[in-house]
């Protein structure tokens, strides 16, 4: 069902705010993860990973879920549809794995933030995990930038389903004729 213009703009405002808020939160996570990787002070390292854990749970996860939900509403409530245009499908294909990986990686973030890990972090025993936090944040930022570019440029290209849905009258007119020519 198509949304009336005012509702569509309200929903779009929510979608853009949550989506780009997600990107901004990933940027702050990246800054904290880089600081955590480079510090030699165990207390500072612990404080940084506590902040990373908080940013992940209190900001990134809610914004990711809100961006996904508002994106689906925006698709279903407008002529863009969910599976009519390749750029919308590409956004879904980027966003679902990104959200899944994010939820999966909250475990390692919690491990780094655990007070019991402070010494292991300081002695470099969790270096691999620390590097992974930085790499994950860079990858997430790139995925979200790609989703933003897709939304703004909206590259042309319809799926077969979208093409059929956009021409219901033409399909209805052609189908009986095609049927009658092939029937005889």
Q: How many residues bind ligand HEM (CB under 6 A)?
A: 25
CB nearer to ligand HEM: give 50 or 65: 65
Does 56 help bind ligand HEM (rule: CB under 6 A)?
Answer: no
Rounded CA separation 165/160 (Å): 9
- In sequence order, the 6+-apart residues with CB closer than 8 A to the CB of 78 are 2, 3, 8
| The one among 29, 48, 60, 67 contacting ligand HEM by CB under 6 A | 67
CB nearer to ligand HEM: give 95 or 117: 95
CB nearer to ligand HEM: give 20 or 37: 20
CB nearer to ligand HEM: give 14 or 37: 14
List the x/- string, 164-183, binding to ligand HEM by CB under 6 A.
--------------------
| The one among 49, 53, 75, 121 contacting ligand HEM by CB under 6 A | 75
Q: Show the tokens assigned to 91.
A: 């956004």
Does 95 help bind ligand HEM (rule: CB under 6 A)?
Answer: yes
Does 65 help bind ligand HEM (rule: CB under 6 A)?
Answer: no
Kindly state the smallest distance separating residue 136's Cβ from ligand HEM, in Å. Answer: 16
Of 64, 57, 56, the closest CA to residue 19 belongs to 64
Does 15 help bind ligand HEM (rule: CB under 6 A)?
Answer: yes
Of 76, 96, 106, 108, the closest CA to residue 143 belongs to 96
113: how many CB neighbours lie within 10 A of its CB? 22
Cβ-count burial 166-178 (b if 16+ within 10 Å, e if not) = eeeeeeeeeeeee
Cβ-count burial 50-61 (b if 16+ within 10 Å, e if not) = bbbbebbeebbb
Give the interface with ligand HEM as residue ranges (CB under 6 A).
Answer: 8, 12, 15-16, 19-20, 22-23, 67-68, 71-72, 74-75, 78, 80, 88, 91-92, 95, 144, 147-148, 151-152
């Amino acid at each position: 069902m198509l949304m009336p213009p005012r509702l569509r703009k309200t929903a779009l405002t929510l979608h853009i705010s949550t989506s780009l808020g997600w990107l901004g939160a990933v940027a702050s996570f990246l800054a904290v993860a880089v600081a955590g990787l480079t510090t030699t002070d165990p207390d500072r390292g612990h404080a940084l990973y506590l902040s990373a854990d908080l940013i992940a749970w209190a900001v990134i996860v809610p914004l990711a879920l809100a961006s996904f939900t508002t994106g689906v509403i925006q698709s279903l409530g407008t002529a863009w549809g969910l599976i009519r245009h390749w750029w919308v499908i590409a956004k879904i294909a980027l966003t679902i794995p990104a959200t899944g990986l994010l939820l999966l990686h909250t475990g390692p973030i919690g491990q780094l933030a655990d007070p019991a890990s402070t010494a292991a972090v300081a002695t470099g025993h969790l270096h691999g995990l620390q590097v992974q936090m930085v790499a994950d944040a860079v990858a997430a930022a790139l995925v979200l930038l790609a989703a933003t570019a897709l939304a703004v440029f909206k590259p042309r290209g319809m799926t077969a389903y979208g093409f059929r849905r956009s021409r219901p009258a033409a399909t209805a007119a052609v189908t009986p004729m095609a049927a009658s020519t092939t029937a005889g």
